[in-house]
């Protein structure tokens, strides 16, 4: 199932949306600064605002088509929307909250499906509790479960963890990975946290001032020095796929990449698993020769593929390490002193401690 969106809508004299993008099954991240128009797009797709003109289709079938006069009401679109706040009913137990959306749509009870969703989201122990006793992460999972139980054709998550601290957000990411891998639905995921987007999304749509600034496969966008400027040079970083090796007594686990081996803390996947590893561009140091007598364990032989001079003092360097792509952020002064140029062979040095659990996929 693929969602296609093409719409124009003036929200105020100062702000208009004009966007077009596709969302196939898997996670499509809508990424952009506050006020870029992310939530308004979700509201339009959900049928909560009526665009001035455009078409919104699922596998070619319109739920909205201004030219043809089609505008299905929200409940007939069968799209699940989870807001920033979980919006659970305080007087109902978690179990009754879960069933509420289904009942409101007149769908029959589905105990087997419910058990499956409860298991996937890890909320079995919460069923008899009231929402007031839940942590933010638990409440977010219940809200996602309630939306899933309505058998949506599409799931939209509008920064469902905006109010959670970093540790709670990290806790919930594995559940979202399971949802992504097992639900088989297109998921529109609104976020302005790049590590989360890198971990979950297959596609990224970067929004600015109501427009699509750039859209494409996540792996390509995250490794592209020019796109890094739009994603935010401080947080930008490529995602590489490695194979988990042995764990040493000091807790560092080998992760083998074509360009070399990383030794990383906090790897939970078992030996032999393939896991994504996000390496922030600002955590990579470049050297012309493999350095000796250095505390960093992680060195990858790479070649400079492209250079992008940003607005500030930084240069974003695109590197290829075998079939992998990596980004490094250096100062323009260093780039010049090193004579960085396309095709030059360099060693990329990554600090182990710079890579945290949020940067590693579950495998």
**Per-residue contact flags (x/-) with ligand ATP for residues 277 to 306, judged by CB under 6 A:** ------------------------------
Based on the shown chain and the rule CB under 6 A, indicate whether residue 37 belongs to the binding site for ligand ATP: yes
Q: Give me Rg for the CA atoms of the chain.
A: 22
Query: Any residues with CB less than 8 A from the CB of 87 and at least 6 apart, and which?
Result: 143
Residues 6+ positions from 269 with CB-CB distance below 8 Å: 244, 275, 360, 361, 362, 363
Residues 35, 124, 251, 291: which binds ligand ATP (CB under 6 A)? 35
- Cβ 189 to ligand ATP shortest distance, Å: 13
Scan residues 143-202 and list those touching ligand ATP (CB under 6 A).
192
Contacts of 272 (CB under 8 A, 6+ apart): 243, 244
Q: Which of 15, 21, 83, 100 binds ligand ATP (CB under 6 A)?
A: 15
Nearer to ligand ATP, 34 or 295 (CB): 34
Kindly state whether residue 39 participates in binding ligand ATP, applying the rule CB under 6 A: yes
Q: Is 247 exposed, middle or buried (0-12, 13-18, 19+ CB in 10 A)?
A: middle
9 lies in the binding site for ligand ATP (CB under 6 A): no
Q: Examine residue 16 and tell whether it contacts ligand ATP (CB under 6 A).
A: no
Provide, rounded to whole angstroms, the least separation between the CB of residue 37 and ligand ATP.
4
Instruction: Tell the smallest beta-carbon distance from residue 65 to ligand ATP (Å).
Output: 22
Q: Which is nearer to ligand ATP, 206 or 304 (CB)?
A: 206
Q: Does 13 bind ligand ATP (CB under 6 A)?
A: no
Alpha-carbon gap, residue 144 to 161, rounded angstroms: 11
With a CB cutoff of 8 Å and minimum separation 6, the contacts of 314 are 233, 329, 330, 331, 332
Least distance to ligand ATP from the beta carbon of 357, Å?
25
At 234, list the tokens.
């401080």
Q: Which of 23, 16, 21, 11 is nearest to 201 (CA)?
A: 23
Q: Based on CB atoms, which residue is closest to ligand ATP, 12 or 295?
A: 12
Q: Which of the ranges 36-44, 119-127, 178-186, 311-319 carries the binding residues for ligand ATP, by CB under 6 A?
A: 36-44
- The residues, ordered by sequence, that sit 6+ positions from 334 with a Cβ below 8 Å of its Cβ are 286, 315, 340
Instruction: Return the bridge partners of 286, or none.
Output: 348
Site for ligand ATP in 41-80 (CB under 6 A): none
Q: Which of 32, 51, 101, 314 is in the footprint of ligand ATP by CB under 6 A? A: 32
CA distance 134 to 137: 8
With CB under 6 A as the contact rule, the residue among 18, 23, 28, 38 that binds ligand ATP is 38
Is 34 a binding residue for ligand ATP by CB under 6 A? The answer is yes
Residues 7, 27, 40, 233: which binds ligand ATP (CB under 6 A)?
A: 40
**Both structure tokens of 248:** 């040493």
- At 7 the three-state DSSP class reads strand
Give the Cα separation of 40 and 321 in Å (integer).
40
User: Which residues make up the interface to ligand ATP (CB under 6 A)?
Assistant: 11-12, 15, 32, 34-40, 192
């Amino acid at each position: 199932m693929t969602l296609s969106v093409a719409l124009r809508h003036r929200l105020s004299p100062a702000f208009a949306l004009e966007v077009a993008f596709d969302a196939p099954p898997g996670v499509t991240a809508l990424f952009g600064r506050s006020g870029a128009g992310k939530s308004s797009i979700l509201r339009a797709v959900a049928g909560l605002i009526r665009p001035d003109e455009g078409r919104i289709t699922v596998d070619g079938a319109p739920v909205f088509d201004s030219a043809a006069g089609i505008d299905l009401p929200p409940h007939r679109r069968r799209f699940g929307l989870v807001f920033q706040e979980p919006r659970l009913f305080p007087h109902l137990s978690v179990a009754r909250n879960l069933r509420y959306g289904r009942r409101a749509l007149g769908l029959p009870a589905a105990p087997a499906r419910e058990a499956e969703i409860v298991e996937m989201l890890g909320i079995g122990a919460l069923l008899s509790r009231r929402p007031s006793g839940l942590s933010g992460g638990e409440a977010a999972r219940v809200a996602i479960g309630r939306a899933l139980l309505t058998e949506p054709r599409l799931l939209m998550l509008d920064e469902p963890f905006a109010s959670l601290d970093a540790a709670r957000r990290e806790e919930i990411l594995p559940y979202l990975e399971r949802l992504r891998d097992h639900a088989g639905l297109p998921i529109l995921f609104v976020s302005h946290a790049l590590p989360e987007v890198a971990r979950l999304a297959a596609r990224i749509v970067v929004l600015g001032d109501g427009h699509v600034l750039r859209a494409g496969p996540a792996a390509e966008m995250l490794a592209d020095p020019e796109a890094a400027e739009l994603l935010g040079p401080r947080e930008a970083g490529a995602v590489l796929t490695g194979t988990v090796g042995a764990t040493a007594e000091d807790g560092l686990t080998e992760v083998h990449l074509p360009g070399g081996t990383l030794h990383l803390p906090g790897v939970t996947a078992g030996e032999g698993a393939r896991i994504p590893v996000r390496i922030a561009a600002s955590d990579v140091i470049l050297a012309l020769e493999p350095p000796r007598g250095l505390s960093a364990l992680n060195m990858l032989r790479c070649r400079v593929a492209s250079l992008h001079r940003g607005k500030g003092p930084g240069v974003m360097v695109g590197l290829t390490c075998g079939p992998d792509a990596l980004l490094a952020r250096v100062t323009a002064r260093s780039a010049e002193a090193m004579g960085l140029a396309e095709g030059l062979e360099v060693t990329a040095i990554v600090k182990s401690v710079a890579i945290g659990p949020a940067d590693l996929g579950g495998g």
